[in-house]
Structure 1
Amino acid sequence: MTPIKKVVILGGGTAGWLSAALLKKVLGTVVDIELVESDAIGTVGVGEATIPPIRLLNQVLGINEADFLRETKATIKLAIKFENWRAQGDSYYHSFGAPGRSLTFCHFHHLWLRARQQFGDMTPIWDYDLNYLCAEAGKFAPITAKDPILELPYAYHFDAGLYAAFLRKFSEPMGVVRTEGMVEQVTQHYNGHIKSLVLKDGREVKGDLFIDCSGFVSLLLQRKLGVGYDDWSHVLPCDRAWAVPTERFEKTLPYTRSIAHEAGWQWRIPLQHRNGNGMVFSSAHCTEQQALDLLMGNLQSTAVADPKLIKFKTGRARKQWHHNVVAVGLSSGFLEPLESTSIHLVQSGIVRLLKMFPHHGIEPATVAEYNKQSEAEFVYIRDFLLLHYHETERTDSQFWRDMRQLQIPDSLKHKIELFQADGSIFREQHDLFHDGSWLQVMLGQGLLPRDYHPLADTFSDTQLKDMLKSIKAIKQEPLAKLFSHDEFLRRACGA
């Protein structure tokens, strides 16, 4: 029962410096924080898209949004556009908003379903979503409205390397100590806890709690403590990604593009100074050269660096916290970047640790609860990603035929069957994705409920039509007042 007075973070990058910044900001002088990293070790650094909780993180840290946008070359993200996922030529959005206005006991989509079934109203549900409307129009400005129907949730695209540097510049003045060096040896106490990191030059960095941000290497959690890994590649077989930056487009889209191909998918992420591009693919269905050729042939702007190949295995460490080591970031597991969850998992891992931070010693019950919540979060994200792949009409390649025939987890099977029966969606406690997210992807992938909630029948046909017309008009009203995305960025960054 050693009191936790010093935290040692192994590894920099987004995971390391985000962990350092948040721990120091919240715990202050209660603990000392030392971050060990080596300039000789590169970072993956392609995770340039985020989801809305990052805004709360920045607020907790006290980060000024204009400074953040300017220094990380960030742009606004309102949604992800999925192209060719349901079928070739088909597209839909997973926006951060929610369509329409829900009733107390009945989500809006039940009203939409009744209108569709009873009088053939084929208006896409996204026409009632402000995030979608702004994404399509290329417009954005923060909206402060009393009516929740006009909320415009957003996140960011940014340069991950610049973000790590920004966080370092933020963290060191607060008292985070950075130590440059390569780890040569890891020592342990008699009980298995990590005692220290011994660097190549002989220096020894001791700590009471260690945060493993060493990436796929997972130097502490896997190589030293050997916790094991749950391999999920049997349901998420993509195990490679090519990444390459290109020149920016003249017009900056306020959303990520996810474009499905015959053995995986391509991302396109707009930044202020360049585009991020990548091809995620299954090496069992496509060679590395074929994937590279496909990516380079679909860039639409000139590459500004050589392509970089990243190899990974989807899954999670069997324990994210073991002994006195907590793994954060890629060392804790990896779920491909389809829904931009990697940076959020760093954030949620540290927030979870802060909520359970050991004071006078590490208690087994605390560790068990941390691991239980971490596992649940990973499982729900896995199911959400798998939904995109499994519920498809594509049969044009072996990859998509295999994905259609997968034996999906019971948890996802139940969620799909429930939605198809009567449109019900119930969010689990540790599920990152809200009802609106599940709704948009299930509808986008071609799932349609057979029935709707009976509350939708409490309105006459005329009342329902008038209500839908009114909600649609309310959602469209702000568009004329918003800046273009590029004009917002110019104003926000002081250019």
Structure 2
Amino acid sequence: MNKPIKKVVIVGGGTAGWMSAALLKKVMGSVVDIELIESEEIGRIGVGEATIPPIRYFNQALGIDEAEFLRETKASIKLAIKFENWRVPGEGYFHTFGGAGKNIGFCAFHHFWLRAKTLGDKSSLWDYDLNYLCAASNKFAPINSKDPALEMQYAFHFDASLYANFLRKFSENIGVIRTEGLIERVTVHPDSGAVDHLILKNGRVVHGDLFVDCSGMRALLIQQTLGTGYEDWSHWLPCDRAIAVPSERLAATLPYTRSIAHSAGWQWRIPLQHRNGNGIVYSSNHYSQDEAAAILLNNLDSKALAEPNFISFKTGRRLKQWNKNVIAVGLSSGFLEPLESTSIHLIQSAIVRLIKLFPHAGIDAVNVAEYNRQSKTEFEQVRDFIILHYHVNERTDSQFWRDLRNMEIPESLTHKINLFRATGKIFREQDDLFLESSWLQVMLGQGIVPRDYHALADNLSEPDLMSLLANMKKIKQSPLEQIPSHDEFLRQVCAR
């Protein structure tokens, strides 16, 4: 266990495997050798087609040209998620990657808006959000401005299989060794219990010092070999099944994901350049597989292009995401439903964390403990944000929603909800993936109305307050006329 790490073996391809291979080789290629083992016989789940803005930094770290990426992965731009029917049927709201207005001194903008509401102002918080204004107008182009009020964060929708293929080509070009083959046996060291080598079906033996388990829900190394254990969160997040199906592209490519709640789950609609990604996440205690499939297929916006793909899962996380000399990345490390498009980001953060804590002279228990501490915190914070959507609802149409509204939730989430409801204040936890603006939009969208606002919002006279809001709205709307449609932007970029 204390020997220097000279070779990293990645088990499994797909998005997790090739993201891991690409970044490890790009950053550490002169320090360690990277070999990836995958088999064409093993299919990919490939439902993680929506992302969040940090994916852009991942691509930039690899030196990937964004236009080439958009072309090769049939990607579209993502500015937001639209949540429909989550608070009550027939109502919707946006969770954008932007933010409303601009903070003033020590006071967040929404407190000024909250005060204006008490004075009779009828504006929506989203009227001051450039991401929302562009999403609602089906427009997009990067904005070059030094004014932070005009900053527009964005991510992508892309075909996960095409992205994996794109990264495979990239990785092999920079020296990652790809080995085709099925793993027949995993051999552990008799003294340390760590993974020693892999034996492939064709008889080849693959040795490594550090193993990255990207074998998906099979968790070949982290669970089947090392028996690491799993923390089950299905008492908070009871959905345990998903069905995915592609459909024909629509005439207009929306720059946002749609998340549409049903009586015992929710449906996603993800627009790509060549098709739509669709799926339903549901509770098998409330829907049969046939019922869920019928809901999905009857609610497609366009003709299905393939037979549905059925997926079972248990929400939760591996008790250790680094155990001995194995690091679990992707679905082998745990599963959080793709409600907030975090699946691909959790792959990215896991591999960045490994690079930051990469063992040099050998694997040290303190290093491993820190990796696991950070991973646990990240998973729990994302978990709380997802629970928020389910728990704070006013739906009365099914037992599923009534049970979620009345369930006990983690204390960390209870505190955040109660603080916002009483004071309008939000404080981001250290390293929380989601910014204050994200928590704000979802809590407001789910119907939590603060009883108070920050005292600093009273610094302005009523005329000055209304002038502030009018000017901010004007600033946010100012670029709209010059921004092309989303499809026109994609045509321009992909033609380069």
Under a length normalisation based on structure 1, what TM-score does the superposition of the two structures give?
0.99
SS of the equivalent of 2:478 reads helix
Q: What is the distance in 2 between the residues matched to 1:486 and 1:494?
A: 12
The match for 1:344 is: 345
Q: What is the distance in 2 between the residues matched to 1:60 and 1:353?
A: 15
The match for 2:411 is: 410
The correspondence of residues 323-342 of structure 1 with structure 2, limited to 5 A, is 323-342=324-343
AA matched with 1:86: R
The match for 1:12 is: 13
The match for 1:129 is: 129
The correspondence of residues 3-402 of structure 1 with structure 2, limited to 5 A, is 3-117=4-118, 119-189=119-189, 190-402=191-403
Cα deviation digits, residues 175-227 of structure 1 (max 9, x gap)? 10000000010011120111111101110110000000000000000010011
The match for 2:481 is: 480
Q: What is the distance in 2 between the residues matched to 1:451 and 1:136?
A: 30
Cα deviation digits, residues 311-342 of structure 1 (max 9, x gap)? 00000000000100000000000000000000
Q: What is the distance in 2 between the residues matched to 1:42 and 1:211?
A: 19
Q: What is the distance in 2 between the residues matched to 1:364 and 1:39?
A: 36
Kindly state the Cα deviation for residue 34 of structure 1 after the two structures are TM-superposed.
0.1
Kindly state the Cα deviation for residue 454 of structure 1 after the two structures are TM-superposed.
0.6
AA matched with 1:161: S
SS of the equivalent of 2:45 reads coil
AA matched with 2:100: P
The match for 2:461 is: 460
Q: What is the distance in 1 between the residues matched to 2:404 and 2:260?
A: 16
SS of the equivalent of 2:35 reads strand
AA matched with 1:144: N
AA matched with 2:141: A
Q: What is the distance in 1 between the residues matched to 2:367 and 2:184?
A: 31
Q: What is the distance in 2 between the residues matched to 1:219 and 1:121?
A: 57
SS of the equivalent of 2:29 reads helix
Question: Number of paired residues?
Answer: 494
SS of the equivalent of 1:417 reads helix
Kindly state the Cα deviation for residue 20 of structure 1 after the two structures are TM-superposed.
0.2
Kindly state the Cα deviation for residue 430 of structure 1 after the two structures are TM-superposed.
2.5
Q: What is the distance in 1 between the residues matched to 2:273 and 2:137?
A: 18
Q: What is the distance in 2 between the residues matched to 1:370 and 1:44?
A: 27
Q: What is the distance in 1 between the residues matched to 2:18 and 2:181?
A: 16
Note the residue ranges of structure 1 that are not aligned, 5 or more in a row.
Answer: none
Q: What is the distance in 1 between the residues matched to 2:102 and 2:168?
A: 42
Percent of aligned positions that are identical: 67
Q: What is the distance in 2 between the residues matched to 1:52 and 1:303?
A: 29
SS of the equivalent of 1:191 reads coil
Cα deviation digits, residues 412-438 of structure 1 (max 9, x gap)? 000000111111111111211000000
SS of the equivalent of 1:29 reads coil
Q: What is the distance in 2 between the residues matched to 1:120 and 1:26?
A: 55
Q: What is the distance in 2 between the residues matched to 1:327 and 1:321?
A: 6
Kindly state the Cα deviation for residue 471 of structure 1 after the two structures are TM-superposed.
0.2
SS of the equivalent of 2:269 reads strand
Q: What is the distance in 1 between the residues matched to 2:105 and 2:350?
A: 33
SS of the equivalent of 1:81 reads strand
Deviates most, 126-135 or 187-196: 187-196
Kindly state the Cα deviation for residue 46 of structure 1 after the two structures are TM-superposed.
1.1
Kindly state the Cα deviation for residue 28 of structure 1 after the two structures are TM-superposed.
1.9
Q: What is the distance in 2 between the residues matched to 1:235 and 1:56?
A: 32
Q: What is the distance in 2 between the residues matched to 1:204 and 1:432?
A: 40
Q: What is the distance in 1 between the residues matched to 2:367 and 2:419?
A: 34
Kindly state the Cα deviation for residue 104 of structure 1 after the two structures are TM-superposed.
2.2
Kindly state the Cα deviation for residue 390 of structure 1 after the two structures are TM-superposed.
0.5
AA matched with 2:458: D
Q: What is the distance in 1 between the residues matched to 2:293 and 2:158?
A: 23
Cα deviation digits, residues 141-165 of structure 1 (max 9, x gap)? 0111100000010000000000000
AA matched with 2:128: Y
- Segments of 4+ moved more than 6 angstroms: none
Note the residue ranges of structure 2 that are not aligned, 5 or more in a row.
Answer: none
Q: What is the distance in 2 between the residues matched to 1:300 and 1:228?
A: 41
Kindly state the Cα deviation for residue 122 of structure 1 after the two structures are TM-superposed.
2.1
Kindly state the Cα deviation for residue 57 of structure 1 after the two structures are TM-superposed.
0.5
Cα deviation digits, residues 382-434 of structure 1 (max 9, x gap)? 00000000000101011111111111110100000011111111111121100
Deviates most, 181-190 or 264-273: 181-190
AA matched with 1:298: N
Cα deviation digits, residues 36-80 of structure 1 (max 9, x gap)? 000000111111000000001110000000000000000000000
Q: What is the distance in 1 between the residues matched to 2:184 and 2:380?
A: 34
AA matched with 1:396: D
AA matched with 2:112: L
SS of the equivalent of 2:196 reads strand
Q: What is the distance in 2 between the residues matched to 1:334 and 1:120?
A: 44
Cα deviation digits, residues 15-39 of structure 1 (max 9, x gap)? 0000000000011210000000000
